[in-house]
Amino acid sequence: MANLRQLIELPEVFFRAGVAGGAPVTIICRSFAHGRAGRRGRGPLRMARVKAILFDLGDTLLDFGPVDTLGLFARGARLAYRYLQRLGKPLPAFRAYHRAQLRAIRWHYVKSRLTRREFNSLDVLRRLGRAMGHELTDEQVVELAWQWYVPLGRCVTVEEGLAELLAGLRDEGIRLAVVSNTFVPGQVLDRHLGRLGLLELLPTRIYSCDVGWRKPTPAIFRLALERVGAPAEEAIFVGDSLAADVRGAARVGMTAVLKDPTGARRRWRVRPDHRITSLGELRPIVDARNRPSAGAAGAGETTPRGATA
């Protein structure tokens, strides 16, 4: 079963079951990064200092591992249902409630893939509530979304030393951000990051459900760069998806770092600037740009993006 980037970055995790799939698509990604293309054989290219690092969320900062997606959805439905019962809201039988929620999310997920526009599950929860005869305050609908998310949140692990790594980068003046494809509300994800002690370390957070665009659409990357106040050539993007993260970052001229713990993502023709197995390996990549004498060694894969796998 697909791992959980698909529920935070993730609609896929909940909804691949019962949603029409497709064969993998091979994508050839040109090198867009400010004059890097066609430089092979001309000597090393002096790279700009790193002023910003943008991270994917699911299976990059937050690791979920293999999950029982339908089981998670059912447990989330049960918690949400009990929360509405405590509020005294009119409800159908649990089975009908669970089925209606699953059907609605699947439909909006398919629609978002066809239109390339993200949806926000808060809107879905509000509409379904009205159809069942109850209204929720803004605070209540966010809490309802949190109840849905709790079983998934319990699956999360983070790498040892992650907070220290982020704090060290921040203390060097590097601006940090999250750019995530997700229909899970930003309020819910922020709450989880806060409980993990990561929220203050990631002051800029771009969630596709808030802005409407999904990676690899260039607009969401450009918005993130605007918010951190850094040009693309001075920014690194770190993610676990070749299609969404590496391809999208390359299109706007950012350095693309692929987190690939198992080495499974080597068959695509899209190639990252660097490949890492853990976020701790990001340190020498940054040092090679900002402190060349300290970080020249061990900076990871530097295969040109246009090369074939």
State pLDDT tens for residues 107-151: 999 998 888 899 999 999 999 999 999 999 999 999 999 999 999
pLDDT value of residue 305: 46
Each residue of 86-102: pLDDT tens digit? Answer: 999 999 999 999 999 99
Contact at 8 Å (CB) between 261 and 159? no
Neighbours of 115 (CB within 10 A): 11
Instruction: Examine residue 216 and say whether the peptide bond preceding it is cis (omega within 30 degrees of 0).
Output: yes
Please give the pLDDT value at position 264: 77
Ranges of residues in the chain with a pLDDT under 70 are 1-46, 265-268, 293-309
pTM: 0.82
Helix (H) or strand (E) holding 97: helix 94-115
Alpha helices in 116-261 (DSSP H): 121-131, 138-153, 162-171, 186-195, 208-211, 218-228, 247-252
Q: What is the pLDDT of residue 46?
A: 54
